[in-house]
Amino acid sequence: MLEIIKEPWPWYIAGPLIGLTVPILLIIGNKSFGISSSLRHICAACIPSNISFFKYDWKKESWNLFFIFGIFLGGIIAAYFLSNPNQVEITPQLSAQLASYGIADHSGLLPKELFSWESLFTIRGFIMIVAGGFLVGFGTRYAGGCTSGHAIMGLSNLQWPSLVATICFMIGGFIMANLLLPHILSL
């Protein structure tokens, strides 16, 4: 049984399990699924100020902080106790393409040439980590939610803004992965 948990699960198993969080949250307490709002709750709880964006009753949404903590704790447990010791399997074509960008070590999920303290102080690393992080944070706020909130919760509730946001997320992802990322990786 433990070996099944350590293996990657196919989309047709993992997807419905993630999707089931929506009805469970709605049935248990009429709660909305979303991750990005937790940062707002933390700031509202920890930063007493006169910023109107943080003036609300964050305690009513404290369940979300426990949910996020559970995700964090689950990630730690999975990384230390359930991680697969085998190298991440990728196609030979992708391996050759990564090598052409100078990424030789792709044994983990995040290549060390891109995601490490050493790479942070390179142009490529700065663009990937700092600028990319800023754009994700800005885009999340601008779209009024993150991919999990819009694509999972919003679409299941048939919300038109969530459909538009999800389409834009996908178009942006395709443009980034196919047009911009090869140029950034070649720096």
**Residue 51 CA neighbour count, 13 Å, CB half:** 10
Average per-residue pLDDT for the chain: 84
- Domain segments of the chain as ranges: 1-86, 91-187
**Long-range CB contacts for residues 58-64, cutoff 8 Å, separation at least 24:** 61/37, 63/29, 63/31, 64/31, 64/34, 64/37, 64/38
Half-sphere exposure of 54 (CA within 13 A, CB side): 14
Distance, CA of 95 to CA of 137 (rounded, Å):
30
Confidence of residue 182 (pLDDT cuts 50, 70, 90): confident
Measured between alpha carbons, how far is 115 from 105 in angstroms, rounded to an integer? 12
pLDDT of residue 161: 92
Between 53-67, 92-106, 168-182, the lowest mean confidence (pLDDT) is in 92-106
Give the pLDDT score at 106: 65
> pLDDT tens digit string along 111-131?
777 778 888 888 888 888 889
